[in-house]
Amino acid sequence: MQRKKRVLVTGGAGQLATTLQRTVQSIDESIEFEFANSKDLDITNPEAVTDFFNKGNFDYCVNCAAYTQVDKAEEDSETALLINQQGAKNLAKACHGSNAKLIHISTDFVFDGTQSSPYKETDRPSPLGIYGHSKFKGEQEVVRNMDQYFIIRTSWLYSAYGHNFFKSMLKYGRERDQLSVVFDQVGTPTSAHNLSEVILKIISEEIDNYGIYHFSNEGVASWYDFAAAIFDINHIEVDLKPIRSKEYPTPAERPAYSVMDKEKIKKVLKMDIPHWRESLLAVSEILRKESV
């Protein structure tokens, strides 16, 4: 009898890992998943990571653990770098030492947003803030310490679970008569449900085209467009006002344009990617069903 593939998922309490956990329930039983939150595994502790891998006999590690508080990172760079850089380094070393493959989740915030055409994997990162800087440093640690890795940069991640822009807009839209959302930051919303499917495809099909990939849903939107679609699809009436970023100052500067080119991942995985509005409809439906 063939041994089951063993997959460790870090950041087990976060929205991507939670979405992944719900998704794996429908896949074949030849893959065994272990979801570890920060209490189960402190990825910033190299000895703890090595020990965890020695006991786990993992074939894959999906690193969903990250410091993602973009604004807070500006005043807490030490913690952001500890989790996003040192944590990635520890996992990469442990994967390399145990011959496990790493699927590491990164971000569009590694770019400064000055381009006017979609960012390719070969474009030079130039992060604006501490969060993007720490994630780029994490990417470099993965590349430096192992060969069998997939770095997946994604953008504007949301799902039916955890804390995200989608769920915040639903809450605020029902509580308030008027909302203002920036229209001069452009990117692509990404369903964590679709990203989970990509991760599972890499594992189940044992894809071995290692390297850096970009993945988001298709299409382009501003945060204002995204909010308007959330309200439209979920039948919420609210007076939505478009504003410029300078009217809503934040500690961290965001890229004005972070649309990513996805030709590489579509070609390697031989897949079609749904438009962000189509995925928003699907996620809204999942949330409705689970709220009943």
Q: What is the CATH number of the domain that holds 129?
A: 3.40.50.720
Q: What is the pLDDT of residues 248-269, one digit of tens each?
A: 888 989 999 999 999 999 999 9
pLDDT for residue 23:
87
How far from the centroid of its chain's Cα atoms is residue 108's Cα? 9
Would residue 269 count as lying in a domain? yes
pLDDT-based confidence at 26, cuts 50/70/90? low
pTM of the full structure: 0.95
- The helix, strand and coil proportions of the chain, stated in percent and rounded to the nearest 5, come to 45, 20, 40
How far apart are alpha carbons 127 and 129 in whole angstroms? 6
Pick from 61, 19, 24: nearest CA to 43: 61
Would residue 246 count as lying in a domain? no
Would residue 122 count as lying in a domain? yes
pLDDT for residue 2:
66
Would residue 178 count as lying in a domain? no
pLDDT for residue 249:
86
As for how many domains the chain has, the answer is 1
pLDDT-based confidence at 30, cuts 50/70/90? confident
Would residue 240 count as lying in a domain? no
How far apart are alpha carbons 232 and 291 in whole angstroms? 19
Would residue 91 count as lying in a domain? yes
* Distances in whole angstroms, Cα of residue 164 to Cα of each of 184, 232, 242, 269: 19, 18, 20, 27
pLDDT for residue 4:
83
Would residue 115 count as lying in a domain? yes
172 is catalytic: no
Q: What is the mean pLDDT of the chain?
A: 94
pLDDT for residue 202:
96
pLDDT-based confidence at 134, cuts 50/70/90? very high
pLDDT-based confidence at 156, cuts 50/70/90? very high
Q: Are 142 and 102 in contact (CB under 8 A)?
A: yes
% residues pLDDT > 70 (the chain): 98
Q: Which among 31-35, 69-73, 216-220 has the top mean pLDDT? A: 216-220
Please say if the pLDDT value at position 27 is more than 70: no
Would residue 251 count as lying in a domain? no
Q: Which domain holds residue 47?
A: 5-163+190-217+259-274
pLDDT for residue 31:
87
Catalytic residue among 67, 119, 131, 158: 131
